Amino acid sequence: MTFPPPERGTAATQNGRAGPNGRVGPDPAHGGPLPQATLPELVGRLINDVSDLADRQIELAKQEIGEAKDDAIRAATRIAIGAGIAAAAALLLTIWAWTAFIWFFNWLFGFISFPTPLGTQSLAWVGWLLGVLVPAGAAWVAYKRFIRRGISQAMAIWPPLPRTRETLKEDLEWVRHLRTRSER
């Protein structure tokens, strides 16, 4: 994101009238020529530049935090949906296991007591197979489509504020360059 250049000077100095320092023309403290600047004007210009730089960094950080927050919310939503589907699948598997337990003992006691007609039990295995496959498939889909993608989205958020970090490095390099240039 590019920021507009900071405003330089005042209306009085831009119109050619004498500014607050009594000079006609741009004020050195607000971007005017440096050779005729006094020490207070140079310090004022330095303070203005640092203030503008800090304001831009803060705005960039706010923007990146907003983007990171949106990504984190999306990742958390995916993980929550996946966890909900996995919990429902676990509940179905638990119900299936309990039903299978009861059915097995009913079948065992019924088989011991009296024989049942073959036609009523011939396709019972299809229902039991579906009782295992449907929740297991739902749990697999929950993991693959939601939980794993949500975790990878959450991991992509780190390291935080990459553009802000990069511009801060550039600013530090710029300050070092100015410092070495002024020491010559």
pLDDT tens string 28-52 = 555 566 667 788 888 888 888 888 8
**How many domains does the structure of the chain reveal?**
1
Q: Which two tokens stand for residue 117?
A: 């007609």
Instruction: State what percent of residues in the chain have pLDDT above 90.
Output: 6
Q: How many CA atoms lie within 13 A of 19 on its CB side?
A: 19
CB 18 within 8 A of CB 24: yes
Q: How many CA atoms lie within 13 A of 63 on its CB side?
A: 12
pTM attached to this predicted model: 0.49
Residue 87 in domain: yes
How many Å apart are CA 110 and CA 113, to the nearest integer?
Answer: 5
Residue 138 in domain: yes
Average pLDDT rounded to a whole number, residues 90-114: 75
The residue segments making up the domain with residue 128 are 52-183
Rg (CA), the chain: 36
pLDDT tens string 12-28 = 444 455 445 455 555 55
Residue 32 in domain: no
